[in-house]
């Protein structure tokens, strides 16, 4: 065999570099975390980790801590904390209704005008109660149209196909100053022999269901969805199959525009309450000089952020984010809300130059924040006068929310409040971990890699290591 010193030296250098790289990795991360990352074939340069004790000024661990990374839904931590500080925990959204005409003997000769202010959670149940109140106030018949005033949010173009080419998914619903019931349908599927019973809520006036979903013994439980929904004219068409081994299942989808959804739900509930309405729906503005006939107010922000963080509700996060800039009579828009957030951070002496907040939900291909700054958000939130409201909004590890099924029946169960995040090529987790010794930590662990979906075990290994830390 021919001896080539140059090749030998090159190979030797490569080995030395590899050993140095592994040694550097080992110094910064626990062995159990390294093992899981290697098992998942996730390289170190795709990982950002920062761990810092809440009573310390320096991080315990930092791997690519200053890298601008896609956080997925971990971005909701910044959105909800900033909202608590800027808007206040008692902030409530209002929705107003106006009578643009004359009301006599229960008959409105004119239009009924709704004006929205971005309520993130005006549900079907709350809307029904509000309409019931309108009936009790004496309104029975509407001779004109339903007018929707959405001027609180600045006009914008929203494409539900743009994010992942799946516009029917409930998480792809766009923001709306008059968002009603998340603009989504709740589908409950009940296996019934070879067939499947489909229960759809709400039942919207003017629409029907055509159910072709079957039950399949061949499909794995908890596998990818094998059924679809689409709208053909006024018919919700359901097709595909569900696994027989999973039992009953729930899903949400959205196939109607905001106007279609509002009109159909209003008509359905209004007629159910004994009211009469035969007009159309259109967009417009509240005429000047009118006083509100009735005002509905949401639950306080401190309650709503629990839905946002525990269940990672994207449309609610988008609504809250836009509300940050919807003050002082200026229509809210995303760029103004992002600027408002940066101004607020600067007022705290914080500079996040890498920060990109597209919509506040993290459901974005361009959103960016560093793990170090995500931990700084957590540390500052821990020093806030609203700390209890913020921390209680986060999922409890192994107990509830999106962390309910993680590390159950382990020493870590109940020892952490953590926000999870998942997108294609993104796996993140951030929040607070309490060790068994009583010490508390702020952590951010972000993976941006083609194999990110296999990274949960590495994140769990870090949590387990911290729980047992002294």
Which conformational region is residue 252 in: left (phi greater than 0), alpha (psi within -120 to 50 degrees), or beta?
Answer: beta
pLDDT at 396: 98
Q: How far apart are CA 399 and CA 414, in angstroms?
A: 6
What pLDDT, on a 0 to 100 scale, did the predictor assign at position 7?
A: 39
Q: Are 238 and 211 in contact (CB under 8 A)?
A: yes
E strand or H helix at 196: strand 195-201
Per-residue pLDDT band for 203 (boundaries 50, 70, 90) equals confident
1-39 exposure pattern, b = at least 16 Cβ within 10 A, e = fewer: eeeeeeeeeeeeeeeeeeeeeeeebeebbbeebbebbee
- Extract the tokens encoding 91: 């902030």
The pLDDT value given to residue 6: 37
Residue, of 415 and 5, whose pLDDT is higher: 415
Contact call for residues 271 and 207 (beta carbons, < 8 A):
no
For residues 314 and 252, give the distance between their C-alpha atoms in angstroms, rounded to a whole number. 13
The whole-angstrom separation of Cα 7 and Cα 205 is 76
Percentage of residues in the chain having pLDDT higher than 70? 94
Within 13 Å and on the Cβ side, how many CA atoms surround 470?
0
pLDDT at 111 over 70: yes
pLDDT in tens, 123-144: 999 999 999 999 999 999 999 9
Angle at 418 between CA 413 and CA 424, to 5 degrees: 115
DSSP state of 332: B
Q: Is the pLDDT of residue 11 over 50?
A: no
Residue 83: both structure tokens together: 């909202």
pTM of the shown model: 0.91
Token pair, residue 327, equals 């003050």
Burial of 227 (0-12, 13-18, 19+ CB in 10 A): buried
Quickly name the fold that domain 29-90+303-467 has. Answer: Beta-lactamase (3.40.710)
In the chain, % of residues over pLDDT 90: 79
Domain segments of the chain: what residues? 29-90+303-467, 94-158+258-298, 185-253
| Predicted pLDDT of residue 3 | 33
pLDDT for residue 13: 43
Q: How far apart are CA 366 and CA 54, in angstroms?
A: 30
158: helix, strand or coil: coil
Between residues 97 and 222, the one the model is more confident about:
97
Compute the average pLDDT of residues 399-413.
96
**225-239 pLDDT, tens per residue?**
788 888 999 999 999
Please state which architecture CATH assigns to domain 94-158+258-298.
3-Layer(bba) Sandwich (3.50)
Angle 314-323/334-347 helices, nearest 10 degrees?
A: 70
- Paired tokens of 287: 């005429």
pLDDT, tens only, 148-181: 999 999 998 888 888 887 888 889 999 999 999 9
pLDDT at 23: 37
Mean pLDDT over each residue of the chain, to the nearest integer? 92
What is the end-to-end Cα distance of the chain in Å, rounded?
Answer: 56
* 25: pLDDT strictly greater than 60: no
């Amino acid at each position: 065999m021919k001896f080539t010193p140059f090749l030998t030296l090159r190979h030797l250098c490569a080995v030395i570099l590899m050993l140095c790289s592994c040694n550097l990795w080992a110094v910064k991360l626990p062995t159990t975390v390294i093992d899981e990352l290697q098992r998942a074939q996730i390289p170190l340069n795709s990982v950002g980790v920062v761990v810092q004790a809440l009573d310390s000024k320096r991080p315990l661990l930092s791997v690519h801590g200053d890298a601008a990374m896609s956080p997925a839904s971990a971005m909701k931590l910044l959105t909800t904390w900033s909202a608590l500080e800027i808007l206040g925990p008692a902030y409530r959204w209002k929705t107003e209704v106006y009578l643009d005409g004359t009301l006599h003997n229960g008959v409105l000769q004119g239009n009924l005008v709704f004006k929205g202010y971005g309520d993130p959670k005006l549900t079907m149940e709350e809307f029904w109660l509000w309409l019931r109140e309108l009936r009790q106030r004496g309104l029975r018949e509407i001779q004109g149209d339903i007018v929707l005033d959405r001027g609180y949010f600045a006009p914008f173009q929203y494409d539900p196909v743009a994010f992942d080419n799946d516009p029917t998914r409930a998480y792809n619903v766009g923001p709306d100053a008059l968002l009603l019931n998340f603009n989504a349908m709740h589908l409950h599927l009940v296996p019934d022999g070879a067939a499947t019973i489909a229960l759809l809520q709400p039942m919207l006036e003017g629409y029907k269901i055509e159910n072709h979903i079957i039950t399949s013994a061949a499909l794995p439980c908890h596998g990818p969805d094998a059924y679809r929904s689409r709208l053909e004219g006024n018919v919700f068409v359901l097709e595909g199959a569900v696994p027989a081994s999973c039992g009953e299942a729930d899903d949400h989808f959205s196939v109607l525009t905001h106007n279609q959804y509002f009109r159909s739900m209003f008509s359905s509930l209004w007629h159910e309450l004994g009211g009469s309405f035969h007009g159309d729906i259109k967009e417009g503005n509240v005429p000047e000089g009118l006083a509100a006939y009735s005002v509905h107010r949401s639950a306080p922000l401190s309650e709503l952020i629990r839905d946002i963080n525990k269940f990672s509700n994207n449309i609610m996060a988008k609504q809250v984010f836009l509300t940050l800039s919807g003050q002082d009579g200026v229509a809210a828009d995303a760029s103004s809300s992002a600027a408002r957030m940066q101004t607020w951070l600067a007022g705290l002496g914080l500079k996040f130059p890498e920060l990109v907040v597209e919509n506040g939900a993290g459901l974005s291909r361009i959103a960016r924040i560093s793990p170090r700054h995500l931990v700084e958000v957590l540390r500052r939130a821990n020093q806030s006068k609203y700390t209890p409201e913020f921390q209680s909004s986060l999922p409890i590890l192994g107990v509830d929310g999106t962390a309910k099924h993680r590390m159950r029946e382990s020493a870590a169960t109940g020892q952490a409040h953590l926000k999870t995040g998942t997108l294609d090529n993104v796996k993140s987790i951030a929040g607070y971990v309490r060790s068994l010794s009583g010490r508390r930590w702020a952590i951010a662990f972000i993976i941006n890699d083609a194999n990110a979906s296999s990274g949960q075990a590495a994140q769990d290994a870090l949590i387990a290591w911290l729980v047992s830390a002294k």
